[in-house]
Each structure stands twice: as structure tokens, then as C-alpha cells.
Structure 1
Amino acid sequence: MRKPLDSTTDGWLCGLAGVLIFSGSLPATRLAVLGLDPLFLTGARATLAGALGALLLLVLRAPRPERHEVWPLVIVALGVVVGFPLLTALALRHVSSAHAIVFVGLLPLATAIFGVLRAGERPQPAFWVFSAIGSGAVVAFALRHGVDASPIGDALMLAAIVACGLGYAEGARLSRRLGGWQVICWALVISLPVMAPLAWAFLPASFAAVGAASWWGLAYVSLFSMLIGFVFWYRGLALGGIAGVGQLQLLQPFFGFVLAALLLHEAVPPAMIAVTVVVIGCVAGARRFGRGAAASTRAPQAQRG
């Protein structure tokens, strides 16, 4: 009989599944904004995912969040439902998806910082060394191969990383009580009164002018990036520790690079392989020394419902 996985290992596996799903987000967004307005894309993806989330909550009879949980859900919605999708969609009007992806290298560090500020995690000092080296490797790679990037696009991507890191940490903290799928579903439902009118206001004048690739991009970011990926991701952060599991995002740029090369035929520099090796080593080190973060967080409480 197979030995069941411990909660930390389960958390890292769920986190890896979430990262793999999220890796397609920027290439899919890049495809979508080729024919769709970024504001329409932001509203449409949240509206479609919100409708599915509402259906899940209704069918599975999930209990409503308690009053003190509403504001944290609003923070999650502002960070990952509105902020990150909108800012990245606007950024991708100025930079390629391959360039934008490298900024995701800063997301693990942002997530860890907010994990300390919002969830009270306390990783070991060596964890921060590995996190800084991993993030620094990705940033150095970006500076070397992204000199032709737009300052506006870079500023938008940096703002997106801050918003996303806060949304990740807040959502993971809530997932310990509500459960990962409930957190993202409620955050999407909360955002519906804003995002549905936004999608309607920026509806394309003619659907005939929108190519099939843009619709496929919208479908991916709505179903996978906005809903399914978060089910795995929030569970992973809640079980394995926000700071520790968050370091898996260091791998996301390189998964995304491969997708950008395959789907968008964007050039991927050979140096990516060397940086990837460094990043994998940093993720391994962060997993070892991030155990203090996981240990400092109590096991997820029994989820309501």
C-alpha cells in the first residue's frame, strides 16, 4: 500500500501544477491582445471565470464567507482578478511576452515578502539568500536580453508583480480556512459587478475582425489562468508555506519561454538554459530552508462546508 504524501510534499506538487498552468498565461494574453482590447480582455476573462465560479459555489453549496473574510477576498480580487491581468495586458501592448515573462522572476520574492507581512511566516535566513539569487539571476537575464524593452511596459509589469504577490499571499492565508477553490471562486464573484460592465463597455465593434488565436487566448486565460490554476496554486501555498512554495514561480519564466517560442515563434536566447539551471538550484535550496516558513504556519484548518 502506497504511503500517503505529507502535506508539505502535497503542497509543493500542487504548487508545481499551478505554475505549469500559469506559465501559459502571458503567451495566451499576448495572443488575445492581438485582436482584443486589454480592458475587454481583463473584464471578459474575469466575467467568464466568475460565472463558472458562481456555478461551482452554487452546485457544491459552499457556505458564504464570514464578514471578516470579505475584505481579504476583496484584496485577492484586486490583486489577481483585476490588477495582474489588467496590468499585464496593458504591458503586452509595449513588450513581447518573452520579455514580460522574465519579470515573473520577481514574483517569488514579492510573494515571500507578503507572506511574512500578511501571514506571519518566518523563513530561515538561508531561504532569503536562495530567493535573492534566483530572482537576481532572472532579473540579470532580463537586463541583458531586454534592453530594447519599453520603460512603460516594464513599469506596468513591476506594478503587476506587486499586485499579484499581495493577492497570492492573501489568498493563501484565506485558503487555510476556506479552501483554495472557494477563495478564488468568491474573489471572482465579488469582482463580477465591476468586471462584467467593463467587458460590456469594451466589447469589440465587430467579432469578425477578431482572429481565432485571440479567442483561444481568451479561453485559456479565462478557464485555466483565472480559475483552475488558482485551485492548485492556493492549495499549494496553504499546505507547503507561502514563501517556500512561492519560489516555484522562479521556474515559470522558463516554462513560459518555451511556450512563447512554440506558439508565438519568439526568439529564446541560449543563455536561458544556464539561468534555468541556476534557478532550479535556488528552488531546491528554498525548499530546504523554507521549511521554517511552512512549520510556522499551522496546518490548514478544517475547511467549512
Structure 2
Amino acid sequence: MTARAKPLAHPGDGLGTTSVPTAPKDPAFASVAAPDIRRGFIIGFIGVVIFALSLPMTRLATGSTDAPQLSGVFVAFGRAVVAGALSIIYLAVTRAPRPARADRVPLAFIAGGVVIGFPLCMSVAMRYVESVHGSAILGFLPLATAVIGAWVNRQRPPAIFWGVAALGSALVMAFPFVKTGATLGGFNPADLLLFLSTFCAATGYVYGARLARTMTAEQVICWGCVVSLPVTLPIAIWSWPTTDASTAAWLGFLYVSVGSMWAGFFFWYRGLALGGTVRISQVQLVQPILGMIFSVPLLGETLDAVTITFGLAIVATVFLGRRLATRG
């Protein structure tokens, strides 16, 4: 069997611990060379740009309630099958070793989180809400990742961090009500799916970061897609569309299959490994805004003042929360 590939350096997981008084004293900061930090930001930003197109492209693939295209179930599981096929080719060409027994649990969380859970919840939800709406709610994802990471890694960010987390949660939950006129009747059930998709993605990110310490970033997402095939392939075949879909819908599906589900993680995880999770994870804060901007030319959607205000406020709380998480 081929020797286990040596992963890129993975300095830190983006959260402070009580043993690190201040961020400058964290060895993760001192051990990363300036050129690697710059490369990490550039490569990580490319990954974020790829991810930012996920919502508008998913909306393009699924269509709307008035003009439905591909079903959300097919988009979710079909994209995982395409990524799984590409992963098999990649792992074979690079002669990657099989995951160790200890890797099975993290891979299960990755498969359930970013390969199945997040795409399924998001794809179903995006038929019922506009892309700019979904981008604003998913702006909570970086902070959710920090919260789950603190719990999984048994870390204790300062109390003020949790205060900012609560503020961010309040903004996210208030957004759909304010946007629809502050009435409970205006709440879209699809928002619950978006919240659940955020939890799934955050969990997959945390366990993916842990697994990237023992294998390369590329192998992490590839093995996650491959081990998911026994679930994703049958459901993708079962949900294969029985009616014609537009060329634009299939192009959207192709993008989320190759870009969002596969190649984007190559750039994202490699950027994290090069520059350190604490620094590079902040790049993802621009993802909701980029998603809103991309939705305008791609889907003909508009940016209203409420969406822009809440989107920026959510990004601000996530950015502050990330900074506070490096202290403690």
C-alpha cells in the first residue's frame, strides 16, 4: 500500500484556548511564513469565490415555484455523485492510500455534513427563496463553524465571544421577518432548511479540518464524496428528472457538481493549510456579499436595502466573533 501522503501544514483551527493568552503568542502565527500567508489568502479567496456562486447556481438548477427545473433532491444527490466519480479518478491517479480506521468517524461527519446534509437542505430551500435571501442567512456559517469547533475540540473562547455569537444569531433569525414586514406569517419554512444546512456545513468543516491533519486537503473531500456514493448514487438515480429542464438549469447543476462540491474544497482547504485557519477563515466572511452580487446578473434579482443591511451586519458580527475567538 502506498505510504500515507504528508499533508500541508495545518497551523491551528481558528479558535483560541485558555493556554494561549493572546493571538501574537500563538505558535501558529509565528510558524507561518509571510509568503505562505499571502498564498493562503489568494488560494482561499479563490475557493470562497467558487462557493459564493453555489446559491445562485443552485437557484438556476432548481428553478422557482413558478418555473421549476431540476428537483432539489436530484441536485443535491446528483452533484455528490458527479463529485464522487471525479474523486475516484483523482484518488486513483494520485495513488492515494485508503483512510485509516480512525478516519472513519470524521469521514462520516464530512459525508453527512458537506456531501449530503448541506446540499440537500440548500437545494430544496432554494426553490422557495431568492438567492440573495439565502446568502444572507448562510452568512452565519463561519460563526457556526467556530461554535461547533469550540465544542468538538473542547475549547473555551471568552464569554464576550458567545455574546457576539448570540447577537449574530438574533440578526440572522430577525432577517426574514423584517424583510417580509415583521409578521410571523411571512416566515418561509425554507428558512429552517437553510439554518439546518448551516449546521450541516459547519459540522463538516470542523471534522474536515481535523482530518486534514492526517491526510491532504484534496483527499479529505475526495474520500468524503466516495464513501457517500452508496447513499447518493441510488437516490440520484431514483430522483432522475422525468421532465425536460432548461440548458441553464443543467449548467447550474454542472457548476455545483464540479465547482461547489469538489474543486472549491481543493482551494479552500489548501488555503487554510497554507496560511492558517485563524487568518484564512476570515476570507469566507465576504461569501454572502459575493453571493448576493452574483445573483443580480445571473438571476436578475435585486439587492434591497434590508438584505444589504442585514448581510453586512451579519458579516460584521462573524468577523468580530472570529477575532474574539483567537483570544482567551
**Interval of TM-score (by shorter of Structure 1 and Structure 2):** 0.7 to 0.9
Per the normalisation by structure 1, the TM-score is 0.83
Q: How does 1:61-80 map to 2 (within 5 A)?
A: 61-80=95-114
Q: Do the aligned residues in 2 keep the contact of 1:251 with 1:276 (CA within 8 Å)?
A: no
SS at match of 1:178: coil
- Alignment partner, residue 206 of structure 2: 169
Q: Distance in 2 between matches of 1:261 and 1:216?
A: 17
Q: Are 1:232 and 2:251 counterparts?
A: no
Q: Measure how far apart 1:109 and its partner are.
A: 2.0
- Alignment partner, residue 303 of structure 1: none
Q: What letter matches 1:194 in structure 2?
A: V
Q: Do the aligned residues in 2 keep the contact of 1:98 with 1:256 (CA within 8 Å)?
A: yes
Q: Measure how far apart 1:225 and its partner are.
A: 0.3
Q: What letter matches 1:73 in structure 2?
A: L
Work out which of the residue numbers 232, 253, 272 in structure 1 matches 2:288. Answer: 253
Work out which of the residue numbers 118, 129, 135 in structure 2 matches 1:95. Answer: 129
- Alignment partner, residue 5 of structure 1: 34
Q: Measure how far apart 1:237 and its partner are.
A: 4.4
- Alignment partner, residue 23 of structure 1: 52
- Alignment partner, residue 299 of structure 1: none
Q: Measure how far apart 1:211 and its partner are.
A: 0.6
263-272 vs 212-221, which moves further: 263-272
Q: Distance in 2 between matches of 1:243 and 1:166?
A: 17
Q: Do the aligned residues in 2 keep the contact of 1:99 with 1:149 (CA within 8 Å)?
A: no
Work out which of the residue numbers 61, 66, 69 in structure 2 matches 1:32. Answer: 61
239-248 vs 53-62, which moves further: 239-248
Q: How does 1:250-289 map to 2 (within 5 A)?
A: 250-274=285-309, 278=313, 282=317, 285-286=320-321, 288-289=323-324
Cα 1:129–1:101 shift into 2, 3 Å: same
Q: Give per-residue Cα distances to partners, 1:220-243, cap 9 Å, x unaligned.
A: 101110011112223344566657
Work out which of the residue numbers 141, 156, 159 in structure 2 matches 1:107. Answer: 141
SS at match of 2:189: helix
Q: Measure how far apart 1:161 and its partner are.
A: 1.0
Q: How does 1:281-300 map to 2 (within 5 A)?
A: 282=317, 285-286=320-321, 288-292=323-327
180-189 vs 144-153, which moves further: 144-153
Unpaired runs of 5+ in structure 1? Answer: 294-305
Q: Distance in 2 between matches of 1:234 and 1:165?
A: 14
126-135 vs 33-42, which moves further: 126-135
117-126 vs 214-223, which moves further: 117-126
- Alignment partner, residue 222 of structure 1: 257
Q: Give per-residue Cα distances to partners, 1:196-236, cap 9 Å, x unaligned.
A: 12111111225xx2111101101110111001111222334
State which structure, 1 or 2, has the greater radius of gyration over its C-alpha atoms.
2
**Count of aligned pairs between the two proteins:** 289
Q: Do the aligned residues in 1 keep the contact of 2:58 with 2:252 (CA within 8 Å)?
A: yes
Q: Distance in 2 between matches of 1:149 and 1:247?
A: 32
Unpaired runs of 5+ in structure 2? Answer: 1-31, 64-68
SS at match of 1:162: helix
Q: What letter matches 2:98 in structure 1?
A: R
Q: Measure how far apart 1:61 and its partner are.
A: 1.0
Pick the structure with more helix per residue.
Answer: 1
Q: Measure how far apart 1:248 and its partner are.
A: 4.0
- Alignment partner, residue 300 of structure 1: none
Work out which of the residue numbers 180, 195, 202 in structure 2 matches 1:158. Answer: 195
154-163 vs 277-286, which moves further: 277-286
Q: Do the aligned residues in 1 keep the contact of 2:133 with 2:307 (CA within 8 Å)?
A: no
Work out which of the residue numbers 216, 224, 241 in structure 2 matches 1:179. Answer: 216
Q: Distance in 2 between matches of 1:88 and 1:276?
A: 18
164-173 vs 237-246, which moves further: 237-246
Q: Do the aligned residues in 1 keep the contact of 2:43 with 2:268 (CA within 8 Å)?
A: yes
Cα 1:82–1:118 shift into 2, 3 Å: same
119-128 vs 258-267, which moves further: 119-128
Q: Distance in 1 between matches of 2:265 and 2:296?
A: 25
Identity %: 40
- Alignment partner, residue 118 of structure 1: 152
Cα 1:146–1:9 shift into 2, 3 Å: farther
